[in-house]
A and B are shown apart, each in its own frame.
Chain A
Amino acid sequence: MKGKINCLQYSTMMIIIIVSSFMGIGIFSLVKAAGVDAYLSVLLTIIISIPILLLFLYIHSYEPELSLPLKLEKLYGKKIGKFVTYLCAIFIFVFANNYMFNLTNFIVSQFLPETPLMVIGIVFSLLAAYANMQGLETISRVSLILLFINLILFAIGIFGLIPSFELNNLKPFLESGLQRPFEATFFVFTLSILPMYSLLIVPKNAMVDSKRFNLSVTLSYLIGLFLIFIFCVLTLGILGIHLASIYQYPEYIILKHVNLFGFLDRIENIITATWIFGLFFSITFAIYYISTCIVPTKKKKTIPIIIVTIMLLFSVQLIPNNTTFNSYIYYVAPILKIMYFSIFIIIGISIFIKKKKKNT
């Protein structure tokens, strides 16, 4: 594992995962929970979630040579360690299904209404499996290129949207006090910060320049949340709270307002590539996580395909429609994520205890 990727690649993976986990479902939940102050809750999350970032770094610093499954084995012994590893993998599998459904459903509802979800699912999951067969180095390079493309498209989007942005739409400021945005931070936290924990699968010392690791993780945490913040501000500032709360994908609808230099409009489909690329990468990394949990050391060839097949069956076949998905995202997914997070709190505590024991 040593010296395979560098911190920049790790950061890009993190940013993509943070941002794309939020797309498509985030603003829906945020607006529902916080109203006009949704964008404030993103800012609040940056501050509130710092302990979570610290826990992430803390777990990373324990046995930095080893990836998460091996770390857990070292911490809890072989049997319990394996159990916890598989438990995490199952959670990630469930979350990956969200990405998959989100991706396919978005594409089908906005681009290809007559195409079955399954076809889109097969195309993108095969690509994800293919990326996995090439190994972590390729995945990380892909993330770098994808983020680069995404940032360019994102910049085009922002420049095109500024003319239709109305500051007035963001008013009234804190209508019902801090309480609602404060509560809504929960959604940002569960939707986009917790998926970041899947990155624990790549050990710290796999980085060529692991000295800069903490800094780059913190920076990418900030950049990722800042991008989400811009999304929220733009969505609310252009659509206003009333429209933002009726659309299924308000972040997509605002892209229809993009107009550059008076002639470059109707490019929302191109800018949506950011979305598709991001969700694709999240799926890819989830598959990498799961396959590494199952086979920690060897190169994976067939496991990604198997995982992808099961995932397709689960996400596309089991979720009957969008309403179910939305209520799942709003009511069930947060509970699952909290359960997932508590695993890591326990891991953090056990590491702390173990270190203390060693010292005394």
Chain B
Amino acid sequence: MKRLRILIPLCMLFLLTGCYNYRELTQIALTSAIGIDKNQNGEYVVTIQVLNTQKQGGDSSSSNDVTKFILYTSHGKTLQEALRTTIFNSPRRLYLNHMSLLLISENIAKEGIGDLLDFFARNTEFRKQFLVVVSRDPDPSDVMQVVTPLEALNAQNIVDSILSDAKYYGMTSKTTYEDLLKSYINPRTNIVLPSVEYIGNTEKGEGENNVKQSKPDATIELRPMAIFKDDKMIGYLTEQESRSLNYIKDKINNSILTCNCNNDGIFTAEIISSKTKLKADFEKKKITIAVEAKSNIKEINCNIDLLNSNTITEIEAIINQHLEEMIRDLIQNTLQKYQTDIFGFEELLYKSKPNEYKVLKKQYGEELLDHFDFEVVSKINVQTKGNIIKEITR
């Protein structure tokens, strides 16, 4: 009896007070991606991609008729307002924790993304591990509505292609929201974001028909990185520059490099286990970028005799030179053209000698890096792995 007297009020307490945050899976809309744009009134236009979790009929063949995701669009003065008001269109409350992609329209990126960041950081519902991508199309919902083959969920498609690109080619790099925030807050680093573009027929791409044919009407294509100064986008890199940037940032995992042979023709080498070391020398005012990697020759379309050990050294020299040029071009181009330090060189200077950096920064201000020389040293070791040992000739 004595226990009952304690237990009953306890149970009452739980029964009456609990369940504040109770939400069944059937009450929430799983958001997979958010696209942000601005309209003429200066309001945010938010496109939300929600997973369609409606149960399909027992017949498995009919399941293809139902779309995998649904798009909602709403607008508001702030992001929170815009997201909350999707409730006007959708029967369920948005659940944002599983969001995997944030698409920022080019317009907004050019205007400045500083205002966007606060909302995602402050809100506990976001995981902060989602990727951020710039959409080259004026309206990000164009990209978000494409029904993609292989990976039925459009957002996951973009994420996966970025991940596999970062792993096997290195044009883009995996930039999570937290990375973005980190480089935005840090005054010595600048933002770079991958970009995507809609390719194909806009009207036809949105239906399920898009995946029912072997050649889809529309696809989403991964494009080189967008570079920022402060919070404003100032341009896009080219494909090669984008890769060079990743070499400097040591984000290349596996990539390929196509170079000219000494005589006529070209060959392609695969770069593996690449490692970049940056070194700052304050006395000589020099920053050294040392790339070290291994390489496999994947394709040869010129006269190279791989049986000769001298040719290996030659090839190595060609590759090294090519890579060094690539990187040097990028540094010069961006520093001259955009005057933005997307490489984190200032951070490097700061981290290696904070006090001397501060002195220099005071002295030169924005033009600090112009007073530095850049030395690129590439050391690529060619391994001759392949099925054939001679070139194929008649």
Contacts and interface: CB of A to CB of B under 8 A. Distances in A.
Contact of B21 (A109, A113, A168, A240): A113
Interface in A151-180: 168, 171-172, 175
B21 A243 contact: no
A126 B13 CA distance: 12
Nearest to B188: A242
A122 B10 CA distance: 10
Q: How many of chain B's residues touch chain A, expressed as a range? A: 20 to 34
Contact of A175 (B17, B21, B182, B354): B354
A141 interface: no
B128 interface: yes
B182 A240 contact: yes
A246 B181 CA distance: 11
Contacts of B185: 242-243, 246
Interface in B2-36: 10, 13, 17-18, 20-21
> Which of A114, A175, A242 counts the most B-chain CB atoms under 10 A from its CB?
A242
Contacts of B18: 119
B124 interface: yes
B92 to A, nearest CB: 17
Interface in A106-138: 109-116, 119, 122, 126
Contacts of B351: 168, 171-172
B124 A114 contact: no
A129 B128 CA distance: 38
A256 interface: yes
Contact of A242 (B129, B186, B350): B186
A239 B181 CA distance: 10
Contact of B124 (A109, A172, A257): A109
A115 B182 contact: no
Contacts of B313: none
B350 to A, nearest CB: 7
B165 to A, nearest CB: 19
Interface in B125-184: 127-129, 178, 181-182
Nearest to B19: A115
B354 A115 contact: no
Given A175-B354, A243-B178, A115 B124 contact: no
Q: Which 8 A-B pairs have the closest CB atoms?
A: A115-B20, A171-B351, A242-B185, A114-B20, A172-B354, A175-B354, A112-B21, A119-B17
Interface of A: 109-116, 119, 122, 126, 168, 171-172, 175, 239-240, 242-243, 246, 253, 256-257
16 contacts: A112-B20, A112-B21, A114-B20, A119-B17, A119-B18, A122-B13, A126-B10, A171-B351, A171-B352, A172-B350, A172-B352, A175-B354, A242-B182, A243-B178, A243-B185, A256-B128
